[in-house]
Amino acid sequence: MIKAIARAVFGSVGPFKPTTIERRDLQPHDVLIEIKYSGICHSDIHTARGEWGPVNYPLVPGHEIAGVVAQVGSKVTKYAIGDRVGVGCMVDSCRECDRCREGNEQYCRNGNTGTYAATDRYGQYTQGGYSTHIVVTEDFVVRIPDALGLDVAAPLLCAGITTYSPLRHWKAGPGKKIAVVGLGGLGHMAVKLARAMGAEVTVLSQTLKKKDDGLRMGADHYYATNDPETFNKLVGSFDLIINTVSAKIDVGAYLSLLTLDGTIVNVGAPAEPMSIHVLPLILQRRSFAGSTIGGIRETQEMLDFCAEHRIAPEIEVIAANQIDEAWERVLASDVRYRFVIDIRTMKEEIEWRKK
């Protein structure tokens, strides 16, 4: 087994503690990645605190992973030692069902294997990217283009693909009017991506306090949803609304903002259920949909698109001993716009303690 240094939670109320975890020995098609950076996603918090179901502790979260190939299995053909690579929200799937064969591993009929808090095909409980190393089959590793720094590439493996996938699926582009609900880790990426695709972009945020940021990132318009006049003014305006917030919203109010055949897509995942009235759907042939991440092929496409268009998330790099504070700031919406852990600081802390 391969030893890795990690930060783990040992219960639903934390805090994080240094620990050592074991990674499996490399199988023929496996890649050992030395993790350089790991992004912090709101999903990490939901999962670790048991809000999405029971969790086995200790848990090492993290599914926005960027690093360098340190070792390869005997039959690996896609990567070599030293390659710049990433791992997102899943590390395996059945690879046999029609959805996997079509490149939609995220919707695997037999269930994909999450990067953490899941059981893999070897019977091991998966642990995520808040660690120094990870072993992943080469088919679930993506290549990070040279034009992207590893630190900014990490959040693209969740925040980037989570917003890119629905924008592509619902054909964002010139002539389309798109609204993004929330300007956080997901929302700011949705704005940048939609703008690069050629759409007219509007941000719908609770207040105007991030308006300057939103416009700088590429939004054409910015409205406060705590102003009732916003919903009166924008009735029937949008072809597509990407809802990125992880809190309950008044879906009916946002449905009224869609034009004929418009769609609101939820990518934020609130812990509590939301309800809707169907009449607004029926009268304008509107749709209320959901979307998760993209498949591996689409994730690579997204990374290449970001490199080509010079799109990167706006990040705050932190040390491993700041994770608890960062989580609290995520919950308080006090981050602009994604925390990224410098994994080197885990090793440096261990080395310091040995002195």
Share of the chain above pLDDT 90, in %: 89
pTM confidence score: 0.94
Mean pLDDT of 207-218: 97
Question: Mean pLDDT throughout 132-161?
Answer: 98
Confidence tier at 352 by pLDDT (50, 70, 90): low
Residue 349 pLDDT: 64
Task: Assess whether pLDDT exceeds 60 at residue 289.
Answer: yes
Distance CA 104, CA 97 (A): 10
216-245 pLDDT, tens digit per residue, is 999 999 999 999 999 999 999 999 999 999
Q: Residue 104's pLDDT is what? A: 97
Domains belonging to the chain, first-starting first, are 2-143+314-354 (3.90.180.10), 159-290 (3.40.50.720)
Residue 268: exposure state from Cβ atoms within 10 A (0-12, 13-18, ≥19):
buried
